Structure 1
Amino acid sequence: MSDHVDGPRSIGDPTADLTDLFAFTSPENPARTVLAACVFPSAGEDAIFSNVIDHSIAVRPVTVAGVGNAAKFVPGSEEIRFSFRFEVLKRDAAGKAIQRGVCKLPDGRELVLTVNDENGASTPEGDVRVFAGLRSDPFYLAWTFAELKKVPNLLQHDNVLVMVVDFDTRRVLDPAKGSLFGAIAETVPLPQPPGRIGHPVARIDWIGRPEQTNIRLNNPGVPGDDIRDLWNQQTPFNIAKELQPMFLRRLTDSFRNYDMRDGKPDWTPEALAANANVFLDDFLLFDVAKPITDQSHLEIEKSTISGRSYQTGGGRTVDANVIDILVTWLVNHDREFLQGGATQATKPGMKVFPYFATPNMELQTVAGSVELAAAPEAVWSVIGQFNLEWHPAVARVRLTGTGIGQLRALGTIDGREIVERLEEIDSAKRWYRYALVAGVPASRYTGTIDVKPNGSGSIADWRVDFLASKQPDIVVRDMVSTLINTGLGSLKLRFGAAR
């Protein structure tokens, strides 16, 4: 899913995991260009940027060095780089915890910014404006790629940390020398003091075009080792020559596999090789002299491979449907557009700075109920004790304290440890409320269990509200749904279903 969780190293350090890269014309001013990069997939509401990583967006001029089956894009050596570094949390004058950072501009100037300040920070001349903070994840993935099956957006309600650079195109890029550029973003560990044990890491992650690692290099239909970490350690704009044949072979095999996903070959071997060669040089192409729209993503590459002049600025807007554009190109050579199971991200982008939608802070709810043959008192005598020993997924329970504030540490049959605290209980009304302490990747997590009369029987209700953190909402939702449905289902077996 784009560059989210694209390899063991990124999974191990999500704060350094680059998820997406964007290059587009400012909706507010056509004379300005916007570059943006996202990190920290499924970021929680209190997520902050790492203070030991240099987050950079780099741009180089690019020339078209071949067309058709000889298509080639060659980056120049001159580099325009924006680097973000962030501090540890500090408290402002009001005692609120805040994070500040610095964006170093290509000419050496520095902009001090406060994370999550929507106004961002600007140079006195106004030629550059930057933002960093938590936003709604602009990416959406609505396919499963093992069988190319349509599904709902797998990243619905997720958030990421975003860095945005908005600048005067003429002053920063000088397009009079050439209007075609390639962009990458990378996360590089800051230099460590001498004497540390271990080998320094050149970089943790980098990204050019979306889906280089998770779809093109890690195609589930192509056997082979997971080479995503190896790719992420390469130097952008300069893939190691000794490794290029291996990466090229994987790309070619992957493209051949995608071509046959609909059972029809749409690519010649020569055209497949041309695609592999173009995508091996991984940078996000954009032309500031041509229109960049929601539909123009990959148009530069596709037109050049097809032997014709490109007509748009390529790039990638906040709302670009990059997955379906890519899937359609790979599977059927743009013969018929392939639409996944979603048509937009959780929230569309904004037309004003900082362009990325506000974070998803609305609590999500999972609820269930079961009608039982037993009287409310009988059901409450089992489930109203807060120990959850009646639940078939609970292998062991350890209680600490009594009454309000009591803790229950649940050991589940799949090895998970969940700690919850009793917040409120009313035995007369057969109802209690609890809050999560640890064990589920969520914040603001509260649950209620209650039993009501229902004719000669009863109804047991279980509801949980939460905000996913460090895992996609869909993962947390599935976890909670399984817990609720399994528990309520066991009550039906114990007490019988209402007739």
Structure 2
Amino acid sequence: MSDHISGPRALAEPIADITDVYAFPSPETPGHLVLVLNTLPFAPPDARHSDGLIYRFRLRPLTPESVLSGSGDREHVIDCVFDDRGVPAVTGEGDGVRVFAGPRWDPFFLDAPAALKTVASGQLAFTDPASIYLDGKNVLSIVAEVDCARVFGGHGLFGVVAETLTRGRLNVRIERTGRPEVKNLLLGPKQFDPVNRDLEIRDLYNMEDAYHLGDGYLGAYRARLNANLAFWDRLDGKVDWPVDGAGDHPLTRLVLADRLVVDTRRPYRESGSFLEIERAALAGEEHRTCGGRALNDDAMDTLFTFLVNAGHGPVIRDGVDRCTRPASRVFPYLADPNPEPPQPPAHL
């Protein structure tokens, strides 16, 4: 889940499948921004990055007014590429950026079967306690820690997107990811969509430029999100996000502006910062935290609560509050890989 196996093409090319993206101020070095791009669900302990891919971070400067919608054309890009030697793990530093690449314990935690049961049954299916789906699986990680003053100058508020692209003369975008669960839980379910009920939309969405969505499928994305966001809102028996006269859900525009929003000028926060900048922008208020997404933040409870009751009711918990091997506060932050990870299910 999160962004694991987010479409047929990700299933066919798991080496390019982005499982998660994180962005947070460094807890170890103030003034540095940490970017994490995880790929390859169920990676073996000796997994290696592909020499046929570009692993890319894209950062766009934002203003408080552009958090909910567009951004300018100015952009910072960090590309990570590998040669065919593909050493299992490597660390390097230079030009204001420190990088780690290699297998790590998958930091994502969610009772994924309960989330899918919720979609299938139309009723909240979370239990307490619960368990992480196939706990102990590994991913291939890239961690980039950036000296903000040296690399970004004076700007602090950014939208962050990660991508995998083919490497060569023709760079084809295979996956792109901003916030968690946009594709699997908000775009994936078809049964509530009255317009495109037979359309697998996630591969089309993955190919889009996150900062410049094309007109061709924009109507399809909106129809799917309007329907699925309304489904999540109804799960507690009341409506906290009423649609407008055209049937548009008030969160559709925000979801389509699909990037993590992080303020590098605010200090690291272990939990409670995910979606805080976006929620403040919706309320017309000044944000109070660094936003983004930290490795140990229970982002899924925050997301479910935001979707179901807009924060006006109890926390919607999935019954899993932390990873069994939490991230540290020391570079490269993610836990060492599991030497004996569980095998992926046969139906994948």
What TM-score, normalized to structure 1?
Answer: 0.63
Separation in 1, partners of 2:93, 2:286 = 37
Separation in 1, partners of 2:24, 2:333 = 11
Q: Does 1:222 align with 2:201?
A: no
Q: Which amino acid aligns with 2:151?
A: V
| Map of 2:322 onto structure 1 | 344
Q: Residue 286 of structure 1 is aligned with which of 255, 262, 276? A: 262
Q: Which amino acid aligns with 2:26?
A: S
**Offset from partner CA, 1:429-468 (integer Å, 9 cap, x none):** xxxxxxxxxxxxxxxxxxxxxxxxxxxxxxxxxxxxxx43
Q: Is the 8 Å Cα contact of residues 64 and 74 (structure 1) preserved in structure 2?
A: no
Tell me the percent identity: 33
Matches within 5 A, 1:82-231: 82-89=78-85, 99-100=86-87, 115-117=88-90, 120-123=91-94, 127-142=96-111, 143-147=114-118, 148-150=124-126, 151-174=130-153, 176=154, 178-191=155-168, 202-219=172-189, 222-223=192-193, 224=197, 225-231=199-205
Distance verdict in 2 for CA 1:202–1:304, change over 3 Å: same
| Map of 1:238 onto structure 2 | 212
Partner-residue secondary structure (3-state), 2:63: strand
Q: Does 1:51 align with 2:21?
A: no
Separation in 2, partners of 1:146, 1:221 = 14
Separation in 1, partners of 2:203, 2:235 = 26
Q: Residue 342 of structure 2 is aligned with which of 468, 478, 485? A: 468
Q: Does 1:262 align with 2:241?
A: no
**Offset from partner CA, 1:306-362 (integer Å, 9 cap, x none):** 23222112101111111111011001111211111211123100110101111112x
Partner-residue secondary structure (3-state), 2:173: coil
**Offset from partner CA, 1:396-419 (integer Å, 9 cap, x none):** xxxxxxxxxxxxxxxxxxxxxxxx
Partner-residue secondary structure (3-state), 1:250: helix
CA apart distance, 1:63 = 2.1
| Map of 2:121 onto structure 1 | none
Q: Is the 8 Å Cα contact of residues 292 and 315 (structure 1) preserved in structure 2?
A: no
Greater gyration radius: 1
Separation in 2, partners of 1:266, 1:187 = 36
Q: Does 1:324 align with 2:292?
A: no
Distance verdict in 2 for CA 1:31–1:64, change over 3 Å: closer
| Map of 2:25 onto structure 1 | 25
Separation in 1, partners of 2:98, 2:228 = 40
Separation in 2, partners of 1:290, 1:272 = 33
Q: Is the 8 Å Cα contact of residues 130 and 163 (structure 1) preserved in structure 2?
A: yes
| Unpaired segments ≥5 residues, structure 1 | 90-98, 101-114, 193-199, 364-466, 480-499
CA apart distance, 1:204 = 0.8
| Map of 2:331 onto structure 1 | 353
CA apart distance, 1:246 = 1.8
Separation in 2, partners of 1:327, 1:187 = 27
Partner-residue secondary structure (3-state), 1:311: coil
| Unpaired segments ≥5 residues, structure 2 | 119-123
Q: Which amino acid aligns with 2:103?
A: L
The root-mean-square deviation of aligned C-alpha atoms, in Å, is: 2.2
Q: Residue 75 of structure 2 is aligned with which of 79, 84, 90? A: 79
Q: Is the 8 Å Cα contact of residues 156 and 265 (structure 2) preserved in structure 1?
A: yes
CA apart distance, 1:15 = 0.2
Q: Which amino acid aligns with 1:217?
A: L
Separation in 2, partners of 1:220, 1:299 = 29
| Higher RCO structure (Cα 8 Å, ≥6 apart) | 2
Q: Is the 8 Å Cα contact of residues 2 and 19 (structure 2) preserved in structure 1?
A: yes
| Map of 1:34 onto structure 2 | 34
**How many residue pairs were aligned?**
330
More strand by share: 1
Q: Which amino acid aligns with 1:145?
A: L
